[in-house]
Structure formats: structure tokens, C-alpha cells
Structure 1
Amino acid sequence: MDHRTQGDRMQLAQWLNIDFPLIQAPMAGSQDSRLAIAVSNAGGLGSLPCAMLTPEALHASLQEIQAETRRPYNVNFFCHETPTPDAQREAAWRQALQPYYDEFGIDPADIPTGPGRAPFSPEFADVLQDFKPPVVSFHFGLPAPDLLARVKSWGSKVLSSATTVEEALWLEKHGADAVIAQGLEAGGHRGMFLTDDVTTQIGTFALVPQLVKALNVPVIAAGGIADAAGVKAAMALGAAGVQIGTAYLLAEESTISAIHRAALKSEAARHTALTNLFSGRPARGIVNRFMREMGPLSALPPAFPLAPAGMTPLRTQAEAQASGDFSPLWSGQHVNTSLGESAAEITKSLAQAFAA
């Protein structure tokens, strides 16, 4: 599939062998295989986030998907480089969190360190080889050439996220079959990987036409799209399809907490911001007490993905008291609570954009 076919709104659907050019965004920590299965069975492309899974858990999840759907699905991985732990930086972060530890009676000496998210690796590739998923997508770039070649050898189509024209061109040059244009409105982690400068990040409807003009591979719009009208607008700008995240957080199949679900349905969801406090990397979430008091972007958190270790006990204690003050309440800038209760209903509502 090439740039010349993007004028046909159903080309991406045909290429992916799905009913609608609609992809459910993979959301690590907020879903499991059930959401992916439901979206795929409804005619979209369901996605399984794998960054927080062990190879064993990945194998089990893929077995579940293949047992419950015969439709195409996507598996998603991060491509970050695991940093070397910095004891001095970790100590400074724990010191900054000390007043909150005191508030909840937490002893920081009892808190373990270590990453909570793993990048794509040969071990994950070994698992995938047995399943040969139809689509494999990546965040934060692409894996090493040898790993990418393995994925492509199975016939899997490769997608990856870009937040700038430069990133999109890099992805196309290095083997992505299609590029997800992740606008600034999108919830969760920014897919930025060529720069740490958040001022380079632009909105979806500014990014999409620039990528359509610059690339010879399909462009998939993501960020701030929460209804059929938004889907139509993205397609009118030349997108070959859309990727939807926040809307699916409200599906009954998502695994978010009751606190997170209530926040998405409240007026608090009108105010989101990019923050690196929860993971060490910029991600969009609903502004809460911790973000307000620490400032949403800070030089203090350890490098991604080491920051969550220090935050986890605070989140656990606060959520036990029915508070989301220390939780990453991921959300895009447009929350729509009227699409339906189930993933199938949400998919059907969004797919109205493709009705004749």
C-alpha cells in the first residue's frame, strides 16, 4: 500500500483485513486481551499492549486472543533503551517524595527499585514467532534491525508512532509499513523518540496533513479523536485511518480502576497535562494533586521506566482511600462518555463515520 491509495478511506481496512480503518490504541496497564478481542470482533483492529507483560504472560494472552477471535489483531511493544539505574538520582527523587511518604506512613527503605516496563527483545520475538500476529506496532521508534527483520519475516505488518515529521521520515526510512501520527492531544505516553523537547509536539490536525505530504506510507491519525465527527475530520485531512485510545478506556472491558473511570466521567477530565512524574517520560493525564504540587514536568524523576517504583506505594495507599491524587489518570484532551458501554458499541459508534 502506498501514498497514492490514501484517498480511498477503506484502503487501510482492506490492507489490514478489517471492516473499518479503526485501530484501538494499545494502553499498557489499562487493558488486557479482552478489550483487544472485543474490538477485533466488532470489525476494528484490537490491540494488546505488551510493555508490562512477561514473555510467559504474553504467550498466555496471545492464546486467549486466538481462542476468542479469528479476526486480525495488533500487539504493541515499547522500544526504549533500559537505563542504568542512577543511585544519586533515585535518592534525590525519594527525598522529594519524603513528605508524601510521611503523610502515608511509608518507609522508603522498603520500596524496591527496578523498571516496570520492558522493551521489545529477542525473548518477546521468540513468543511472537509461534503466533505470527497480523500486526505488530511499536512506541518510541523501532526495534533493532535484526529484530524488525524477524517480525517482518512472519508477514506481520509493522506500525509505529511519530510525533513530528522528522520522526515519521525516520520510521519510513527504517521499515515502518504505516505511521501513526500521534498528536499532542493524545492520552498516555508520547511516542517521541528523536528528541526530548516537548515544544516540538503539535496537534493531530496539524501533524496529519504534514505527514501525508511527507510520506509514501499510510498515515493513521491519533489524538483527540473521540467520535465519528472527529474520525471524518481526520480522514478529510488525508489520514488512511484512525487510532482511538481514551474512548476505549471507558469500555466495560478495560481494566482501569473505579477511581480512574470516575475521573474520566467527571469535570476533572477537562484539564489534562503532559507529565513525567509517574513514569519518567512525558505522558498526558488528568491533572491531580500530585501533578499540581510537584509541577507536571520535572527534572527529578528517574529516567523512564524507573520512576514508577517510588510512586507505586503512594498510589496504592491513596487508592485504598478512594483517592486518585497519586495515580496516573491517563486521558486525552477529548473524553466522550456517550459512545456506549461496551467496546463493540464504542466501535460501532465510531464506525458511523464510514457509513455510505
Structure 2
Amino acid sequence: MSSPLSGLGLTIPLIAAPMAGGPTTPALVTAAARAGGLGLLAGGYRTPQELAGHITAVRAQAVPFGVNLFAPNPVPVDAEAYRRYARSIQAEGDRYDLDLTGGDPVEDDDHWHDKIDLLLADPVALVGFTFGVPDPAVVAALRSAGTVVVQTVTSAEEARIAADAGADLLAVQASAAGGHSGTLTPERVPPPTPVADLVTEVRSAVSLPLIAAGGIATPADVAAVIRAGAMAAMVGTVLLRADESGTSAVHQAALADPDRDRTVVTRAFTGRPARALRNDFTDRYTGEAPAGYPALHHLTSPMRKAAAAAGDPERVNLWAGTGHRHATAEPADRILTRLAEAL
């Protein structure tokens, strides 16, 4: 079977994950391609104009690349639960003279239609979707424009939904992944199925080619998912300290801190399950945070930005997968080349 990635020049089966919020930069995407893999720009949280600028920057380097978007799958927050949570975390905002209790919930779609219009008007080789499955008409329009469509899934059931929507390729994300889970049902946290086992489960459900993601941090991990039937491995956390990443200084320091040896899955920062290094904020608020995305993301964003600027790791979303100990401060091409050594 011909691979949907066959025209993208991969010489190693590795993809640099799209890490929204800053870590993924045009330089990191370019480095992944020059190492023989592929990088995906993170369209999430960027305006269409910012995304267009990143696309232009990578195109100027004449390397293959893709773009990932957050597809709408809102989790509307209960208004009273939102107000109660805002009052609870106001003590954290007080540290930075922020009022977190004065506004209404923001329920936006991350400029969804404008970003789709951008990618149809100026197509890229590959577009991925996370959080939700787009309308089949959107998928069909992208494919007609010559774009390979990748859908993130976290179960065999989700894989069937994505296949029915017309996806070319599935990114099978295990719960060990850092940052947000791509689950289509964010009110439930996906079970801790090892990534190679999840690939096997999904392969039994659909015939689409698969990319494995989640907790992949060593050459042995990469080899295991390829043996399980994935055509490529997607890695993110191991690139958070790469020279080309845009990961904040406070986040990079936390990843290198030997005392931060545990990750937790929390809704405390965004109202959607995400894996992060444990800190004071996750300890205090994971148990009481309501489901509600993107409302909680917007609620805590000013606090997180202020904390990062102040070098305060206890109020920052320190996204990290279970393999975070393998994140190293060196060029991305060296990291990716090493990960392919056991193939």
C-alpha cells in the first residue's frame, strides 16, 4: 500500500509533534525535515495571520512540512462552576495583580473558519486535526487541494469515526503524551494503554496507515511502535529542550529539574485533560477544576503568561509526557537521528 507520506521525502520515520503555545517554531519544523523526518506547525492559539507567517517562514527553507489545527469540539462550561473556579484560583492571580473573576466565559473556535480558508487558498502538503473531527466536506476540500489529512485519535472507536470522515492517516495518541489529550470525549480521561498496544488495537479496527504518538522518547520506543505496525512515530516532549524550540525558559528549567519526576493529567489549566509536570497549581486545583474548554484556557492564560515571565514554575502549564526525562538540550536533528538508531 502506498504511504500518504511517500511524497514528503522522509528518510527516517519520525515526525516532530505540533506543540501549540510556543514550543513548535518554524526553525524546529525545518530542523525536523532536514534530519530526514517531518515537522508540523502548530496552528492552535495562533491567529490566521501568525499562522500564515509561520507557513511563509518554513516555505522559504524549501522543506516539506505540515500544519495542525484544533478542530472545534467545544466543552461548554457550567456558568456557576466557572465562577466558582475563578474565585478559587483568584489567590494565584493576586500574585500578579490580575483579576480572574470579572469576566464571562470565552467560548471561541480558535479562528477555525479563517484557518481552513487559509489552508484551502494556499495549500500545504499535510494538515492534521486534533480535539475534534472536521466535517467531511472540509476533509474532502483539503484532499481535493492535494493535502494529506491526518486525524488524531485515542481509541479504536475514534479511529472509525475519523475513517468515516475521510482522513488519509491517523495519529494514534496514547495517554502518556504530553500536553492535551486529543480525545474526542474530553469529559473522560483516556485509559493508560501503552502506545504500541493502542496501535495494535487501532490497526484491528481500521485499514488506514497509522502514526504512533504518546510517551515515545527513546530509540527502543520508536522501534516498538514501528514493529506494532505504525508507519512513523510522532515525538514532542523530547524536543521541548531542543535548540530550535520556543519552549519558555521556565518550562525548560522544570524539565531539567531532577526533583520534578512526576507527570499528572489535569484539567486545572484549560478545562480539558492534559499531561503536565506536577506543580503547586496541579496539586491544588486538579480536583476541583470543572470541564470547560476553551473557557478555562482563557481564564488561566493571563496567570500562566505572568508566571512564565516571572520565572515562576508553580503556576505555569508545564506540559510533558511520561518520557520527559529524555528531553535534552541539543540540536533537534541530533535528537531525531538518535531516536532512529534502533530501526
Q: Secondary structure at the match of 1:255?
A: coil
5 Å matches for 1:14-33?
14=6, 16-29=8-21, 30-33=23-26
* Aligned partner of 1:176 among 167, 175, 186: 167
Residue 332 in 1 paired to residue 321 in 2? yes
- In structure 1, the residue matched to 2:297 is 308
Q: Distance in 2 between matches of 1:66 and 1:23?
A: 17
What is the number of residues matched between the two proteins? 342
Distance in 1 (alpha carbons) for counterparts of 2:157 and 2:322: 24
Instruction: Tell me the CA shift for residue 90 of structure 1.
Output: 3.1
User: How far is 1:241 from its partner?
Assistant: 1.1
Over residues 249-299 of structure 1, what are the superposed CA-to-partner deviations in whole Å (9 max), with x where a residue is unaligned?
Answer: 1111111111100111122442001111111100100000011112x2544
Aligned to 1:273: 264
- Ranges in structure 2 where 5+ consecutive residues have no aligned partner: none
1:67 matches 2:60: yes
The reply on whether 1:78 has 2:67 as its aligned counterpart is: no
**TM (normalized to structure 2)?**
0.91
Q: CA deviation at 1:203?
A: 2.5
Take 2:11 and 2:147, find their aligned partners in 1: how far apart are those partners? 18
Structure 1 equivalent of residue 32 of structure 2? 39
Q: Which of these residues, 206, 218, 222, is aligned with residue 227 of structure 1?
A: 218
1:247 deviation in Å? 0.8
**Does the alignment pair 1:282 with 2:273?**
yes
Confirm or deny: 8 A CA contact 1:62 1:131 kept in the other structure.
Answer: no
SS at match of 2:230: coil
Letter in 2 for 1:345: R
Do 2:186 and 2:273's aligned partners in 1 also have CA atoms closer than 8 Å?
no
What is the SS of the residue equivalent to 2:139?
Answer: helix
For residues 216 and 15 of structure 1, what CA distance do their matches in structure 2 show? 20
Mapped contact 2:15–2:37 kept (Cα < 8 A)? yes
**Alignment match of 2:193 (pick from 199, 202, 225):** 202
TM-aligned CA deviation for residue 171 of structure 1: 1.0
CA distance in 1, matches of 2:209, 2:298: 38
RMSD over aligned CA atoms reads: 2.4
TM-score between both structures, scaled by the size of structure 1: 0.88
Distance in 1, matches of 2:159 and 2:327, equals 33
- Pairing partner for 1:189 from 180, 191, 194: 180
For residues 298 and 160 of structure 1, what CA distance do their matches in structure 2 show?
31
* Matched AA of 1:99: A
- The one-letter code of the counterpart of 1:120 is W
Show the counterpart of 2:138.
147
SS in 2 for 1:325: helix
Match of 1:254 in 2: 245
Amino acid at match of 1:246: T
Q: Select which of 316, 319, 333 maps to 2:308.
A: 319
Partner Cα separation in structure 2 for residue 236 and residue 12 of structure 1: 19
Unmatched 5+ stretches in structure 1 = 3-10
Percent of counterpart pairs with the same letter? 32
C-alpha distance in 2 between matches for 1:235 and 1:89: 44
Residue 84 of structure 2 is matched in structure 1 by 92
